[in-house]
Structure 1
Amino acid sequence: MFEFDHPSDWSVIPAPTSGEATWSLTVQDAHGRIMANLAAGFPAANDSVVVGPIKPVPLEYVKIPEGQLATTYESTVIAFHYETRFNPVIDEVGAEMSINTFKTDFPISSSLPGFHIDQTIGAAFTRWIEASEELPDIDQNLKDAGGTSLYEAYQRTAEYQAVKQMMISLRRLE
């Protein structure tokens, strides 16, 4: 259904499905660290609000080239998005990289991470980053302090750029 480019020393493996997803893949680096998850086949979410103890801080927004992933709804675009946020599933503040659907005139939406395959089926390509995760090339003081500065520093790493490029390359097979 989809394909994407990734570094040659990374692996794509089937992952156990959770919730209502019908299939799921995990992308791991050469050391077995999870770089991203791609899941599809769950009900499409639309304009859902995630409430938490912090307001999300947007760090990057890049539109996916038109036609690479078809938008299902008028006046929407699909984009790569990186932000700090509260994850209610694990009750933790961290950062998330995702492919998401946004309203054309509203660069940061309240939608849950993901995009629509059709009017009822959704998919998600995400990377959750915990404050405790061992991130390469990050100053120890930033790791200890956590917060937005940590996730901004992660943006400047080769690993972040590789994950971002992988996610942005996502395209639907014809």
Structure 2
Amino acid sequence: MVMAISLITVGTLDSNDEKQCGAILVISTSVLLVQVVLLFCEVMDWMLAVFLPVYFHSSSPFYRLLPFIIGCVFCTIIIVLLVVIDVTNETSCVASLFNQAVTSAYDISLILTTFCVIAITILLGKKLNTSPHAALLFHFTTTLLLLEIPLLLITSLKYAGKEKAGNTVMEANNLFIAVHYILHSMFFIYNHEDYRVS
């Protein structure tokens, strides 16, 4: 719901308005951060289930939710810092998206996404039974194609000084994030079974 409201809000704002431009970037980046942090929390949940099954299945609901609570706090702190940085930044974000400190969130998201891809690859190498393997393979494919590769391209273009191309990819990346979110939701709506290792 938060991501959907954020996307709707972005659509109603005028990206050519200097006052609203910073808000658009923060909201847009927040959508990315929320999705990546959620994925990170889910992967940590999987790692606990596979490598610490005794702890995982004997722990209380609070400890089962702890990775997601930590992720929520972590994401909130980053978003607040981005808002503060954006408000105090005198550089025009209309002229250049890369001049805004808010784009540093892409670096953080790339690091977290890379960790998720590596972790899921390790879990796939464990050759779990059919149900968990299908879910992990889904995560790996969507994360690699819709998050990891676009984020890697954005970061590479940013540090290579290819500003115009980078801006285009950054705008398209929001579309990839939305697709990832939709596919992620659809997969688990139609697969209610707990895929974690028992």
Normalised TM-score (structure 1): 0.26
Question: Larger C-alpha radius of gyration, 1 or 2?
Answer: 2
Q: Per residue, is there more strand in 1 or in 2? A: 1
Under a length normalisation based on structure 2, what TM-score does the superposition of the two structures give? Answer: 0.24
Counting helix residues as a fraction of each chain, which structure ranks higher? 2
